[in-house]
């Protein structure tokens, strides 16, 4: 028979209980082992419920609700409020011009001509002028201000200038005036006198002398060609002298360094004249007229000119052979 101990049990059971109480982990495991059968039952029930749920068919999704169309209220169109400018009545006859075809006379030597375009607003409303446009860059018409408002019954004038430098004869330019009644087109005609070389202005003379001093052949180019080249075309003899030589040597206002050929103090002959005509004089205003040297005369023209200069008709006694040909620069 087992021996009883202080725990009130037999020796074998008492030892087992002693071992369990001596080891806390063993005691906890012993307590949990009692719950394992219950946990297994719960887990089985949950597993069968989940499987049944997964096997059920999916419910169809509810159809999306359609958006109700937006409701708009029709509002009648209202034009923007009108301004004074928009409300102004367009009147192409609002401006009455003193002269729509202005005619002027230029003076000899003028390089520009000023003009005025005078008008009156004959309408009952204000007129706004917005700008001007001319037919050529040589003519300018300016407004006192832009835009320019002219009240009913008011008079105004548009000033302008036409550049006539290098022009001659009748020259006409147009001026367009833009305003809120449309465009008024006017014309300005200037009668420009032809250039008279014998009455060349002193300023022009000094300018031409400076150009010729730098390049004696320049007299045959640019603006100078109008007087020194064009009139000589097809001329010979006396006519050629008048257009090619007399324009400088016989001019009443000729430069002091240009000699009067009829008053030379040295004897001359045909070869003397031909040499001067052909070669001129370097480093002076006298150009070389020979085509081969940048001049304007062919051989026949130069010979006809030399014959005229050596003739009694020219008014100078001829002394043939009195001078060596030499260089006319000496």
Q: pLDDT (tens digit, 9 = 90+) per residue, 231-246? A: 889 889 999 898 888 8
Q: Residue 6 pLDDT more than 80?
A: no
- Architecture per CATH, domain 95-192, reads as Sandwich (2.60)
- Architecture per CATH, domain 197-314, reads as Orthogonal Bundle (1.10)
Portions of the chain given CATH number 2.60.40.10: 95-192
Pick from 218, 222, 242: nearest CA to 232: 242
Q: Comparing 158-162, 226-230, 318-322, which segment has the lowest mean pLDDT?
A: 318-322
Which band of pLDDT confidence, cut at 50, 70 and 90, is reported for residue 325? very low
- In this structure, which long-range contacts are made by residues 108-111, counting pairs with CB atoms below 8 Å and at least 24 apart in sequence? 108/193, 108/196, 108/199, 109/199, 109/201, 110/164, 110/192, 111/163, 111/164, 111/165
Q: Residue 129 pLDDT more than 60?
A: yes
The answer for residues whose C-beta is within 8 angstroms of residue 195's C-beta and 6 or more apart is 168, 226, 227
Q: Quote the CA–CA distance of 287 and 212 in Å, as a whole number.
A: 9
* Each residue's pLDDT tens digit, 81-121: 444 444 445 677 899 999 999 999 998 878 899 999 999 99
Residue 24, φ and ψ in degrees, nearest 5: -65, -40
Portions of the chain given CATH number 1.10.760: 197-314
Burial class of residue 63, CB neighbours in 10 A (0-12, 13-18, 19+): exposed
How many CB atoms are located within 10 Å of the residue 296 CB?
Answer: 20
Q: Quote the CA–CA distance of 180 and 202 in Å, as a whole number.
A: 48
**Which carries the bigger pLDDT value, residue 293 or residue 2?**
293
Q: Residue 285 pLDDT more than 90?
A: no
Q: What is the mean pLDDT of residues 31-37?
A: 61
Q: For the stretch 87-122, what's the b/e string if a residue is b when 16 or more beta carbons lie within 10 angstroms of its beta carbon?
A: ebeebeebbeeeeeebeeebeeeeeebebebebbbe
């Amino acid at each position: 028979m087992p021996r009883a101990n202080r725990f009130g049990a037999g020796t074998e059971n008492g030892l087992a209980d002693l071992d369990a109480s001596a080891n806390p982990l063993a005691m906890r495991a012993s307590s949990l082992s009692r719950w394992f059968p219950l946990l297994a039952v719960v887990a089985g029930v949950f597993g069968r419920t989940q499987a049944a749920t997964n096997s059920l068919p999916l419910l169809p999704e509810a159809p999306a609700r359609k958006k109700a169309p937006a409701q708009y209220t029709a509002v009648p169109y209202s034009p923007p409020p009108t301004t004074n400018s928009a409300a102004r009545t367009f009147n192409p006859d609002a401006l009455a011009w003193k002269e729509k075809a202005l005619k002027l006379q230029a003076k000899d030597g003028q390089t520009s001509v000023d003009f005025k375009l005078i008008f009156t607003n004959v309408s009952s409303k204000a007129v706004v002028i917005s700008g001007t446009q001319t037919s050529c860059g040589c003519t300018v018409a300016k407004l006192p201000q832009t835009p320019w408002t002219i009240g009913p019954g008011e008079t105004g004038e548009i000033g302008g200038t036409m550049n006539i430098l290098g022009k001659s004869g009748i020259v006409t330019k147009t001026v367009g005036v833009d305003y809120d009644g449309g465009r008024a087109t006017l014309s300005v005609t200037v009668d420009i006198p032809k250039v008279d070389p014998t009455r060349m202005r002193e300023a022009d003379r000094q300018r031409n002398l400076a150009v010729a001093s730098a390049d004696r052949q320049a007299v045959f180019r640019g603006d100078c060609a109008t007087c020194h080249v064009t009139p000589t075309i097809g001329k010979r003899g006396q006519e050629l002298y008048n257009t090619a030589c007399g324009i400088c040597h016989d001019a009443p206002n000729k430069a002091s360094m240009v000699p009067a050929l009829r008053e030379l103090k040295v004897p001359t002959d045909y070869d003397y004249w031909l040499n001067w005509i052909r070669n001129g004089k370097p480093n002076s205003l006298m150009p070389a007229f020979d085509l081969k040297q940048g001049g304007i005369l062919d051989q026949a023209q130069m010979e006809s000119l030399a014959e005229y200069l050596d003739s009694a008709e020219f008014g100078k006694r001829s002394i043939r052979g009195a001078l060596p040909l030499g260089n006319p620069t000496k």
